Structure formats: structure tokens, C-alpha cells
Chains A and B, each alone.
Chain A
Amino acid sequence: MLKLHPATSIILCLLLFFLTLLYNNPLYIISILLFIVIGTLIIGERSSLIKVLKYSKFNIIFLILLNPLISQNGRTIIFKASYVPFLGRIKITLESIAFGLNMGLKLTCITTVFVFYSLLSERDDIFSFFAKYLNKLTIISSMTINIIHKLSIDLKRIKEVMVLRGVNFNQKNIFKKVRAVYPIIKIIFISSLEGSLDRAEALHSRLYGKAKRTNYYILRFRKIDYMINMTNLLLIIIFIISFMLNYGDYDFYPTLRNFSYHELIFLLVFNFILYLNLLFIWWYKKWKSLKSEI
């Protein structure tokens, strides 16, 4: 886990998210995906990455299978069927499979952006950051987290008591299973509602909402935050130029086309700026000076 300023991680991840949505060129999508994969590995969260890639594998297969069935565009025919129920006459083309694969990569990229975001900043820092601007939303979120934790303990405790009283939760019949679980939910529902009043009284007695909230500590921008935000700015400029030159776009139909020389040169510039962030992250892990505040 890194300790970036929450604003930096939000800007970087929003940028990655919208760049993935905006670019249609597979080379750009692969570049962004590789950036997130390498970044996650540098941070040392291999297990989170494997988990999300396992899930994404099915999405990619689904989109590769689905797209040729609904899109009859493309000239390179791989398979032709005269009649398939509901779908009618279908032809499976190389272009439609490539389009499906590109969309699968896009979805994987977007999913990994969320994982990457959770690794860039400390949760406490994110809470402190939002508490400054979104006071009520933060208090309600932190109370909910506390309640979920408390309820899951209560749930376990009540379940143990019910098991001792002879309730069987491992029944195969779905209705019997639901009937066994229902009393637990009812008990928890009533007791937690009672508890909510107690919590409110406790906060009220501590004068919550009577004055402006104070901050326990102030989050400051470090050297690494300035450096990453600088590359974020450059990425936005690069995106605007690529959008104007139409480099980020790619037409899959009617046939797959080769990438032009200029397009590849521009991709190298895009990658150079994007991958600078990886260098900063790696330095941050290695060098203490980047952790210091300016």
C-alpha cells in the first residue's frame, strides 16, 4: 500500500478510467492495463491482482463469444451457419472476435483501476480527506462500517446460540434454510435499531453538529504527489492531441487495419509519460526522500 495524497490517487484513477473509456485503440488499452498490472506488482499486491484477473477472464470469454453472434460486420469469415434459432443466419468474423477481445480488455482495465485505487492511498487518509469536505457522508460511512463490523460479530454470536438450540443452518432445502436464517435477521434488525438511538444519544451528548468539526491532522502534498500530478497534466495534454489527430481510435470493421508509423510513435510518447508514474512509484518504495513533505 502506498501513502499518496487521496486527491492524487483520485485524479490518477479517474484519468485512467476515462482514458480507457475514450480510447478504442487496442494498443492504448493494453498499455493502460500493463501500467496497472506492473504498478500493482511494484506495490506488492499480487494476490489482489490475481483475484481480479481470474474474475475478468470470464468477462473476456463472454464478450468474445457474444460479440460475433450479434455483430455480422467484418470481411474475414471464419464460420458460417445457415440457420441458428432466434439468431437466424450468422457468420462469425475475425473482426468481430477482435472487437469482443478489445472490449473484454477494456472491461478488465476498468475493473483493475478500482483495485489500483484501493492500493494508492491509506483508507484513513481517504476518510480524513473526505471528512473535511463531506462531513455528513463521512460520519454516516464510518458509522456504517462500525455497525457492519458489530453486526457481523452479533450475527456469528446469535448463530452459535441458535445452533446450540438445535437449529440446522446446513439444510439442503432452500426454504428450510431461509426459515432457519429469518429469526437471526429479525433479532438483529430490532436490536440494531435500538442501538442506533443509543449511538445517536452518545454523539448528541458529545455535542456533535453544534460547531464546525475540527481536523485531527492535516494531509499535505508530498514530492511524489507533485510529480504524479505533473504527469497527469501531461497525460491530459497528450490525450487532447491524440484526440485531435484521431490516434486513439481504431476501426475494427470492415477489416482489421495495420497501425501507422505516426500512430506508433505517438503511442511511445504516451507510454513514456504514463510509465513515468511507475518509476515514481518504484522510487517512492525505495527512496525515503520522496516521502518527505515539501
Chain B
Amino acid sequence: MNYGLILGLSLLILFIIIVVSYERRKISIKEISLLATLSGLAGVSRVPFSAIPNVQPTTFLVIISGYVLGPFYGFMVGFIATLVSNGFLGHGPWTPWQMLSWGLAGLSAGILNKFFKNPSRIFLSIFAFLWGFLFDYIMNLWHFITFVYPHTLKSFILVYSTSFYFDLMHALGNFGFMYFFGKDFITILKRFKYRLNFIKEEEEV
């Protein structure tokens, strides 16, 4: 069975569902503008840290966006940031998987907020650290399923171990960003969300 093809088709169908549900959603221009700004920030932050291998503030920014604004917005920030920033950095077979991985990072952060209203700094940092590994594991999945044969535990460990140091750098970068800057950025974004809601309510009145 061609697992690579099944995975590719599933991803295509998933993206079509996401895009259609986004198009059908009632969303104000202020929210669109905020999403675009956060996506732009997440995308542009890939540039100044490009000298340090696999240290990506994008994951951190996507996680805090999802945490403050909710799962849907978190997913969309990761989704759009990758789609647009890869237009500058280069599209490839990695683009859909980056869109999915960063989207899921934002989505999971939004879900996390539903269960933990005031998590500690270290808890959030560990969450971001885990996403450093998870992100790269999702990225490796397609590579492993499509181009590596046979699919055994040995081949799985061998493929995933080749990128271990890169994954670790990503995870440590996320941990550092979240530990030192996470609370500050969350406070700023919460304040902004409050302002946005205040304006929305004012408009409705």
C-alpha cells in the first residue's frame, strides 16, 4: 500500500476542510487584521534567528497566539505564517507539513488554556519544549513513511535519531523564549485582546 500517497491525499483533504470552514466563519476585519499581524510576526521572526540552527521563535509566537486567542486562531496563525513566509524562504514538500505542525502547535496551546487558566512559567516552557520535538517529529513523519522502507522500529529510531540535535536545538530555543519572554508577551497580547473585545462590544452597542 502506498502510505505516502494516502498521507498526502489526507493532508490535502484536511487543508480543504480547514480553508472552507475558515471562509464560512463569521470573522470581523479587526480579527482578520490581528491574525495577519501575528502571522506576519511569526513569519518574519524566522529571519533574525536563521543564523542559529533550528532556533525558531515562530513556534513560540504561534503557541502564545493560540494560548491567548483560542485554538482556532492559534491554528490559523501557524497555518498562514508558514504559507506566506515560505513564499520568501522557499516552498517545497516541507511547506504543508510545516503548516500542519505549526497549526497544531497553536491549536494545542488554545486547548491548553481551556484546562489551565494560569499555568506557571515553567509549565508553559515545558509545553513549548515538547513542541520543539513534536514539530520536527510531525515533519519527519512523511519522510519516514514515503521514502523509507521497511517501516520497523529500528528504521524509525534511525531516521528520527539523525535529526535529534536539530530537534533539541528547536526545543531548547522554544524553552528559552517561553521562559524568558513568555509571560511578557502573553500579558501584552491579553491586553490587546481585551481592547479588541472592548471595541467590538462598543460597535455592537
Contact = CB atoms under 8 A, between A and B. Distances in A.
Interface of A: 17-18, 21-22, 52, 62-63, 66-67, 69-71, 73, 87, 99, 103-104, 106-107, 110-111, 114-115, 117-118, 134-137, 139-141, 143-148, 150-152, 155, 174, 177-178, 181-182, 184-186, 188-190, 192-193, 195-197, 199-200, 203-204, 208-209
Interface centre among B93, B152, B185 (most CB of A within 10 A): B93
B83 interface: yes
Contacts of A192: 37, 40-41
A118 B91 contact: yes
Interface of B: 2, 4-5, 8, 19, 22-23, 25, 27-30, 32-37, 39-41, 43-45, 47-49, 52, 57, 76, 80-81, 83-85, 87-88, 91-93, 95, 146-150, 152, 154-155, 158-159, 162, 176, 180-181, 184-185, 188-189, 192, 195-196, 199
B23 A134 contact: yes
A196 B48 contact: no
A69 B159 CA distance: 11
Nearest to A193: B192
Contacts of B34: 193, 196, 200
Contacts of B23: 134-137
B contact patch SS: helix
A209 B29 contact: yes
B32 A139 contact: yes
Given A71-B150, A141-B80, A136 B22 contact: yes
B43 A67 contact: no
A140 to B, nearest CB: 5
A contact patch SS: helix
Contacts of B93: 107, 110-111, 114
Given A21-B8, A134-B23, A111 B92 contact: yes
Contacts of B95: 114
Contacts of A208: 29
Contacts of B49: 181
Contact of A137 (B22, B146, B148): B22
Contact of A70 (B84, B152, B180): B152
Contacts of A52: 92
Contact of B2 (A22, A69, A141, A196): A22
A199 B36 CA distance: 10
Contacts of A143: 32-33, 36-37, 40
B180 A182 contact: yes
List 9 A-B pairs, minimum CB-CB distance, nearest first: A147-B40, A143-B36, A200-B33, A196-B37, A70-B155, A200-B30, A103-B147, A144-B84, A151-B44
A262 to B, nearest CB: 23
Given A140-B32, A140-B36, A200-B33, A151 B41 contact: yes
A196 B8 contact: no
A111 to B, nearest CB: 5
Nearest to B157: A86
A70 B154 contact: yes
Given A21-B2, A174-B52, A209-B29, A148 B88 contact: yes
A70 B159 CA distance: 9
Contacts of B147: 63, 103-104, 106-107
A155 to B, nearest CB: 7
Contacts of A147: 36-37, 39-41, 44
B158 A70 contact: yes
Given A107-B147, A152-B47, A189-B188, A18 B8 contact: yes
A151 B40 contact: yes
A141 B149 contact: no
A189 B4 CA distance: 39
A189 B84 CA distance: 18
